[in-house]
């Protein structure tokens, strides 16, 4: 059979797997009747082995690979489908990468398959020639008794140049012993267990029931991930069996979905900040000018966020940002090259294990540039600038960092409690209207608690001093000769002591007890100005005290009135019905009296009328106190930020960009980990007890721009401590209804992760009830490239050392927490002979050792993360080249440590994954070339475990 073979330039061998969500109709599913095949699993999979290969130069053994092409009638041309890895220097190569046809491969039993064996003369240059080829139909393979074909390879001149054996593999639920490819000889019998039986062929499910969730089929993961690429391998084990490995890579819809939500929240937060500043009221000229400057700065940043939201919604490209666009301004909030990398391992005994790693280009502000420093140094410079502004007597006032944090917390608490007080006063009013005594009692208890919490929050030394500062900034205050904003009279040292209702009984006029305070000193003297300022401060202090005492008094009035209204009901059980009627007929007492020893004689129909004025008073007093307190805190923040507002907002914008990228990756990792662990009660218990461990692995050098990227990334990862998760039940099975939703602000973000009802019902009661799930992030970084060599010889590696030591401390603390409250059986089983405690000691030893490119830190940190049920993330500059080397190495190490991969094929398996695996396709997605961006000189500086095979790298755009 002859046909026309297309050039790979027109149709790459990997095209049968989708590169993005934007799938063409040609690439969509396999339409075979009755097919219920798991889309993650191949419809047909076979392995190939050659023997007796002959080259024209008899003194040279071939370096060969097999290219697979196919055609399905009536198609009249061949389409390149896949290829095996290259095996060097043997006439009898056995290929580890299997050839898989998935549902979207559009094959039938009539499909013709051509196997072309190539001899590679120079891998670095890519020079090769075809030794020979052979063809067969899918039907022939399935109808063979043992589902094995032995074919003769013939050259273009029709000369015999060797043999090729094709063996079809069966994927089934019961995994009896199978003969490995390496042992297959003509005439072997395998009891029909290794291949697809003819009657099932390609039209029915092959019966494999995966314990793992499918990236293509699972409703939750299908909503979050897409553009799945798959590769399959068969690796021999130490006991003579085989591992079946399915490698997958998928991009995520969250790459765009999360930044769109996140930037909108930032915009709303900053817009609220501007409104709060506008609502401060009239200020003296100097403060007014300062406020205008700050508002102008905020309005500039708000315009930027508005443009970003518009750009993100107008973007219509693929659902991932390629490495070539990492510095694109319009897309700077989108993580670079974000993918999920999955390895599923099926053993001969029937087990199925899944390992997921999220890959992301280093979260950094690439568009803004680095100029020698990233977020860590910029934060340090901001602190220095703040200290300098205090020393130089700038306008405004510097508070301690803890005061600024406290002020932000107070604003949030006041807003929340004020809303709750208003809500429960309304609830109490409705309960009175409904004449529900039980509801009134329950609601009053909650209202009392919330109101007293609000009073307690407002009874703060910091708040008192801020109220005085705001009062001093009013025009009427400055007209009386009050000191300027930078005056020492407003310094933290002059703050009044905290007061509370319990320590100061209500007094109509405390000022009356101190008549001397009202004495007016002679005009114009310094003593006059000082005493006048002191007098004004005392008056404002007393005024503020009255405000929150009024709230407390109003609450007491409400409590007393409710008690009187409910008294007849409480007496009813001890009185006859005639007595009750008599009470109801009597005239109600005057409802304006605040207290009375007598029982309130009012009809139930008038309860709401009796309560309404008191509830209104309480609401008004609480609102007055809340608004006054909130304005004082807003003014405090304005004072604190004024000297460095431009620098602060620029830094905040950079931090927002970095955090958004990091947060998006975290949500991807959390979602897939939770979905895969629904049946793991130990993990779920660990999740709601001590939180989720997330471990970022960095491969950035500590030299040049990458040093600044590492600074950005380290801050972004640590900011994840302000993130919590909440699992909710999805409102429907519709894809968009299962996408995560973010709420909150820069003080703390919460991510709601919807799950289908059936999945949600399997979760522990604590998680179903809305418990907030915490995150414990760690980052371990080891530079491995030639720039790291320069840093080690001529530069500085201290940042990497500090980051690794900080993360080691947090990781050890997390494990200590685990040991205190959880049993060891919550953790996954491991075949490793090294205990977790010993592993952490080894990690500690390596972190503290002065050793160049100590990649054992990365290996041990990754293993510790897996064994602690954590989520793994791997990053380099673009998540494309060094990340590919690290991922494939990790996959092979897992296969060797946990699944007994035969040690003699370790490096062959590693080269196989790097040359024909999903990460090679990731380079194609990013730069349009199936080559890693390395050169030979660079690779000499790499640790040997991180070097790709010849022919897979070259000079390309990064």
Q: Which residues are catalytically annotated?
A: 876
Determine the Cα–Cα distance for residues 748 and 753; give it in Å rounded to an integer: 16
Asked whether the beta carbons of 81 and 70 are under 8 A apart, the reply is yes
Strands, E, within 31-140: which ranges?
44-51, 64-71, 77-83, 97-101, 112-122, 127-137
Asked whether the beta carbons of 747 and 409 are under 8 A apart, the reply is yes
Which residue, 337, 325, 339, is CA-closest to 367? 325
Asked whether the beta carbons of 915 and 85 are under 8 A apart, the reply is yes
Determine the Cα–Cα distance for residues 325 and 212; give it in Å rounded to an integer: 34
Determine the Cα–Cα distance for residues 741 and 261; give it in Å rounded to an integer: 8
Asked whether the beta carbons of 775 and 263 are under 8 A apart, the reply is no
Task: Using only the alpha carbons of the chain, give its radius of gyration.
Answer: 36
Residue 655 three-state SS:
helix
Asked whether the beta carbons of 602 and 565 are under 8 A apart, the reply is yes
Please report which residue ranges of 519-644 form alpha helices under DSSP H: 526-572, 577-585, 607-641
Determine the Cα–Cα distance for residues 135 and 665; give it in Å rounded to an integer: 45
Determine the Cα–Cα distance for residues 5 and 784; give it in Å rounded to an integer: 41
The single residue listed with the structure tokens 């008094």 is 553
| Beta-bridge partner residues of 742 | 751
Which residue, 98, 69, 86, is CA-closest to 7? 69
Strand pairing of 871-875 and 748-755? Answer: unpaired
The single residue listed with the structure tokens 């979207």 is 104
Two structure tokens written together for 288 = 């007014």
Tally the C-alpha atoms within 13 A of residue 554's C-alpha that lie toward its C-beta. Answer: 27
Residue 920 three-state SS:
helix
Determine the Cα–Cα distance for residues 33 and 24; give it in Å rounded to an integer: 22
> H-helix or E-strand containing 695?
strand 692-698
Please report which residue ranges of 107-158 form alpha helices under DSSP H: 138-143
Residues in the chain: 958
Which residue, 275, 272, 277, 276, is CA-closest to 289? 277
Determine the Cα–Cα distance for residues 890 and 722; give it in Å rounded to an integer: 30
CA distances from 748 to 129, 264, 655, 742 (A): 60, 15, 14, 10
Residue 430: cis peptide before it, omega within 30 degrees of 0: no
Asked whether the beta carbons of 46 and 951 are under 8 A apart, the reply is no
Provide the angle, in degrees to the nearest 10, between the axes of the packed helices 882-899 and 918-927.
170
Determine the Cα–Cα distance for residues 158 and 559; give it in Å rounded to an integer: 103
Determine the Cα–Cα distance for residues 568 and 577; give it in Å rounded to an integer: 12
Which residue, 890, 804, 786, 813, is CA-closest to 850? 804
């Amino acid at each position: 059979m002859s046909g026309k073979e297309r050039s790979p330039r027109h149709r790459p061998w990997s095209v049968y797997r989708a590169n993005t969500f934007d799938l063409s109709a040609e690439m969509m599913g396999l339409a075979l009747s009755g097919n219920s095949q798991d889309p993650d699993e191949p419809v047909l999979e076979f392995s190939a082995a050659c023997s007796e290969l002959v080259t024209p130069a008899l003194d040279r053994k071939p370096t060969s690979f097999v290219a697979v092409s196919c055609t399905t009638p009536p198609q009249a041309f061949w389409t390149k489908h896949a290829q095996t890895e290259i095996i060097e220097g043997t006439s009898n190569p056995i290929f580890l990468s299997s050839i898989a046809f998935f549902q979207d491969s559009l094959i039938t039993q009539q499909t013709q398959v051509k196997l072309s064996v190539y001899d590679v003369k120079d891998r670095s240059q890519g020079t090769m020639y075809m030794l020979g080829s052979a063809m067969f139909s899918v039907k022939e393979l399935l109808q063979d008794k043992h589902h094995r074909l032995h074919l003769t390879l013939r050259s273009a001149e029709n000369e015999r140049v060797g043999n090729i054996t094709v063996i079809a593999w069966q994927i089934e639920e019961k995994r009896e012993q199978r003969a490995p490819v390496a042992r297959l000889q003509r005439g072997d019998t395998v009891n029909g267990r290794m291949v697809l039986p003819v009657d099932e062929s390609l039209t029915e499910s092959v019966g494999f029931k995966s314990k793992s969730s499918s990236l293509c089929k699972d409703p939750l993961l299908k909503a979050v991930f897409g553009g799945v690429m798959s590769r399959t391998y068969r690796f021999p084990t130490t006991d003579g069996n085989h591992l079946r490995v399915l490698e997958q890579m998928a991009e995520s819809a969250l790459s765009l979905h999360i930044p769109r939500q996140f930037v909108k929240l930032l915009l709303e937060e900053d817009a609220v900040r501007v409104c709060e500043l506008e609502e401060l009221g009239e200020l003296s000229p100097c403060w007014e000018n300062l406020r205008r400057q700050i508002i102008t700065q905020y309005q500039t940043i708000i315009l930027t966020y508005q443009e970003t939201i518009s750009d993100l919604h107008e973007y219509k490209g693929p659902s991932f940002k390629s490495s070539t666009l990492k510095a694109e301004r319009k897309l700077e909030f989108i993580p670079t090259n974000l993918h999920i990398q999955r390895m599923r391992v099926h053993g001969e005994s029937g087990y199925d294990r899944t390992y997921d790693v999220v890959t992301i280009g280093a979260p950094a502000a690439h568009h803004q540039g680095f100029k020698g420093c990233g977020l860590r140094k910029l934060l340090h410079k901001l602190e220095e600038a703040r200290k300098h502004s205090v020393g130089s007597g700038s306008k405004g006032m510097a508070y301690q960092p803890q005061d600024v944090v406290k002020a932000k917390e107070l604003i949030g608490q006041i807003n929340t409690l004020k809303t709750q007080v208003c809500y429960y006063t309304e609830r109490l009013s409705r309960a009175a209207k409904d004449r529900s005594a039980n509801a009134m009692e329950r609601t009053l208890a909650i209202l009392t608690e919330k109101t007293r919490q609000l009073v307690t929050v407002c009874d703060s030394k910091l708040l008192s001093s801020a109220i005085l500062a705001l009062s001093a900034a009013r025009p009427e205050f400055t007209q009386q000769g009050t000191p300027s904003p930078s005056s020492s009279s407003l310094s933290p040292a002059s703050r009044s002591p905290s007061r509370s209702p319990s320590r100061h009984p209500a007094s109509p006029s405390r000022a009356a007890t101190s008549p001397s305070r009202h004495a007016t000193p002679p005009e114009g003297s310094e003593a006059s100005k000082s005493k006048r300022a002191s007098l004004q401060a005392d008056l404002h202090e007393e005024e503020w005290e009255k405000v929150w005492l009024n709230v407390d008094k109003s609450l007491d009035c409400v409590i007393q009135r409710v008690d009187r209204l409910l008294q007849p009901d409480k007496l009813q059980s001890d009185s006859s019905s005639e007595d009750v009627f008599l009470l109801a007929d009597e005239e109600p007492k005057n409802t304006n009296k605040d207290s009375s020893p007598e029982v309130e004689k009012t009809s139930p129909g008038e309860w709401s009328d009796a309560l309404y004025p008191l509830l209104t008073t309480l609401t008004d007093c609480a609102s007055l106190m809340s608004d006054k307190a909130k304005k004082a805190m807003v003014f405090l923040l304005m004072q604190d930020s004024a000297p460095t507002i431009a620098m602060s907002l620029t830094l905040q914008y950079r931090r927002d960009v970095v955090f958004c990228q990091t947060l998006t990756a975290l949500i991807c990792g959390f979602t897939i980990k939770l979905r895969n662990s629904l049946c793991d009660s130990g993990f779920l218990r660990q999740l709601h007890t001590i939180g989720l461990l997330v471990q970022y692995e960095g491969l950035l050098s500590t030299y040049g721009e990458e040093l600044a990227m590492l600074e950005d990334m380290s801050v972004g990862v640590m900011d994840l401590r302000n993130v919590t998760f909440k699992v909710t039940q999805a409102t429907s099975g519709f894809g968009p209804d299962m996408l995560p939703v973010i709420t909150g602000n820069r003080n703390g973000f919460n991510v709601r992760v919807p799950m289908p009802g059936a999945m949600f019902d399997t979760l522990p009661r604590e998680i179903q009830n809305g418990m907030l799930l915490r995150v414990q992030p760690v980052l371990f970084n080891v530079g491995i490239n030639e720039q790291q060599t320069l840093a080690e010889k001529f530069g500085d590696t201290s940042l990497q050392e500090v980051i690794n030591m900080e993360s080691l401390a947090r990781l050890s603390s997390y494990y200590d927490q685990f040991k205190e409250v959880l049993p060891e059986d919550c953790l996954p089983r491991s075949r490793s002979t090294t205990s977790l405690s010993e592993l952490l000691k080894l990690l500690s030893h390596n972190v503290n050792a002065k050793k160049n490119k100590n990649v054992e830190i990365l290996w041990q940190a990754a293993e510790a993360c897996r064994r602690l049920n954590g989520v793994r993330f791997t990053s380099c500059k673009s998540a494309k080249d060094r990340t590919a080397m690290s991922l494939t190495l990790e996959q092979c190490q897992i296969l060797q440590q946990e699944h007994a991969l035969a040690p003699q094929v370790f490096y062959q398996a590693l080269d196989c994954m790097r040359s024909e695996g999903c990460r090679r396709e990731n380079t194609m997605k990013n730069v349009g070339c199936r080559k890693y961006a390395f050169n030979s000189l660079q690779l000499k500086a790499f640790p040997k475990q991180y070097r790709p095979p010849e022919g897979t790298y070259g000079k390309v755009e990064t």
